[in-house]
Amino acid sequence: MSGPLDGITVLALEQAIAAPLCTRHLADLGARVIKVEQPGTGDSTRHYDRTVRGLAAHFVWLNHGKQSAALDLTAPADHDLLHDLLERADVIVSNLAPGALDRLGLGVDDLAQRYPRLIIVDISGYGRGGPLDHKRAYDLLIQAEAGSCTITGLPGQPAKPGIPIADIGTALYAYSAILAALYERERTGRGAVIPIAMLDVVAEMMGFALNQVIHGGVEPEPVGMGSPMVAPYGAYPTADGLTVVLGTTSDREWRRLATDLLHRPDLAADPRYAHNADRVRERTALDEIVGVWCAQRTLAEIQQAADAAGIGNARLNGVQGLVEHPQLAARGRWRDIDTPVGPVPALLPPGLAQGWTVAAGRVPALGADTDAIRTEFASTAPNAADIGVRP
C-alpha cells in the first residue's frame, strides 16, 4: 500500500526545525521530499552534535524519509536545475533567512505567476512588512518577543520551554495548511501562496493569556509545574522520592479531589475554595495541603487513589523515562529508520489513519541524491508554457 501523499513532490529549501519538521511529516505520509542543501555544509542541524553514532540528534529527528540534493543556487546550472524541479513539484517549503529567496530570484509572487499549480510555503520569523520583517528569527527569540517565556518558569524567573514550541507550532501549521491547499487544488486546479510567521503562531498559542491582559488588565504569573489558570494543579513530591502531577480543572473535579481523594469534605464545603477563581487566589494554601498529603504516600498509592476518584494524574518523568515508557512500547510506537550509520530507533508520526502506510524513509547523507536528481530532472521537465491550470 502507498501512503496518502504518494505522487506528491515537495521541494524543501529548509534549515533548522520549522520547515524540516513540516516536510518530514509530508514524507511520512508518502510524499517525495527533495531537500536542497548548500554543498559542503548543508543544513545547519547536521553539525549540532554527533550524538546518534556520529550524526546530529536534531537532523536525524527531522530529516528521515527525504532525498538530499547539494546544489549551489548561485551557480547558473544549479539554478536552472532548481527550476526544472519546480516544473514538476507540487509544493515548495522554505524557511531561509529574510530576503534569501528574493536574492535567488525566487520571490513568492514570481513563483506563483510562473508555476500556477505550485503550493508555496514561505516561513519567516515576523512575516512580510512591519518593522521586524528583516530580522533573523530563532525559537528562543520568537518566544521572547511573543511573551511565552514570561508565563513559563517562576515569578521573576522567566524560562523558555524545553520543547521548541515556536518551531514545532510553525511546522504543524505549515503542514496542515499544505494539506488544505492540496485539497483545494483538486477542486480548483490552482496552487496557493502560504506565508506563515512564527510570531503569529506563538501569538495564537498565547490566546488565553492575551484575553487575560486585554480584558482583565493583569499579566499572568508563571507557576512552574502548574497552570496560572487553575488550582490546585501541580507537581508534588511523594514518600518514595518520586513526583506526582495531579490537580483539578473544574469545580466538580475539585469537590471529588477534596472529598474522595483527600477525604476532606470540609475543604469541598469551604466557600474560600468554591470556585476556580477562588482557588487560584488560594493556590499557596491548597498546594501545601495537597503536598502534605502526597508526601505521606508512594507514587503508586497516589495514582491508584486518584484513578479511583476520577482525578487526572501522571508521573513526572525525565527523558529516559519517556524512552522506556511502557505505553509507547505496548502500542508499538517505535520503529527503525535507516541512516548512513545503520538503523536507529524513531517514533511513528502521531497522526495516522487506520490503513495508511508510513514511508520507511532514511536519513540522507549530504548530497546523497544529487547525481540521481540531476539525471532525472535536468532538461527533462515539461516546458513552463505547457503547464496550465487544469479545470
Summarised one tens digit per residue, pLDDT across range 63-72 is 999 999 999 9
> Mean pLDDT, to the nearest integer, of 122-130?
94
Q: At how many degrees (to 10) do helices 18-28 and 165-188 cross?
A: 50
> Mean pLDDT, to the nearest integer, of 285-291?
97
Residue 307 pLDDT exceeds 90: yes
Among 141-155, 211-225, 293-307, 376-390, which stretch is predicted with the lowest mean pLDDT?
Answer: 376-390
Q: What does the pLDDT read at residue 359?
A: 85
The DSSP bridge partners found for residue 91 are 10, 119
Instruction: Give whole-number Cα distances, 337 to 7, 352, 363, in Å.
Output: 21, 18, 8
Considering only CA atoms, give the Rg of the chain: 25
Exposed / middle / buried, residue 104 (Cβ in 10 Å: 0-12, 13-18, 19+): middle
CATH architecture of the region 9-205+331-386: 3-Layer(aba) Sandwich (3.40)
Positions annotated as catalytic residues are 167
Among 16-30, 31-45, 100-114, 367-381, which stretch is predicted with the lowest mean pLDDT?
Answer: 367-381
Vertex 116 angle, CA 113 and 120, to 5°: 85
Q: What does the pLDDT read at residue 361?
A: 86
pLDDT-derived band at 357, boundaries 50, 70, 90: confident
Q: Dihedral of CA 180/173/121/87: which sign?
A: negative
Q: What does the pLDDT read at residue 2?
A: 75
> Mean pLDDT, to the nearest integer, of 69-97?
96
Q: Are strands 243-247 and 313-315 parallel, antiparallel or unpaired?
A: antiparallel
Q: What does the pLDDT read at residue 382?
A: 44
Q: What does the pLDDT read at residue 385?
A: 39
Residue 379 pLDDT exceeds 90: no
Q: What does the pLDDT read at residue 381?
A: 43
Q: What does the pLDDT read at residue 162?
A: 92
pLDDT-derived band at 320, boundaries 50, 70, 90: very high
Where are the domains positioned within the chain? 9-205+331-386, 233-315
What is the percent of the chain with per-residue pLDDT over 90, rounded to a whole number?
A: 90
Residue 386 pLDDT exceeds 80: no
What is the percent of the chain with per-residue pLDDT over 70, rounded to a whole number?
A: 96
> Mean pLDDT, to the nearest integer, of 223-227?
92
Q: Side-chain half-sphere of 56: how many Cα atoms within 13 Å?
A: 17
> Mean pLDDT, to the nearest integer, of 112-139?
95
Residue 388 pLDDT exceeds 60: no
> Mean pLDDT, to the nearest integer, of 8-25?
97
pLDDT-derived band at 378, boundaries 50, 70, 90: confident
Average pLDDT, the chain: 94
Q: pLDDT tens across 233-278, in order?
A: 999 999 999 999 999 999 999 999 999 999 999 999 999 999 999 9
pLDDT-derived band at 195, boundaries 50, 70, 90: very high
CATH of the domain spanning 233-315, picked from 3.30.1540.10, 3.30.365.10, 3.40.50.12780, 3.30.1460.30: 3.30.1540.10
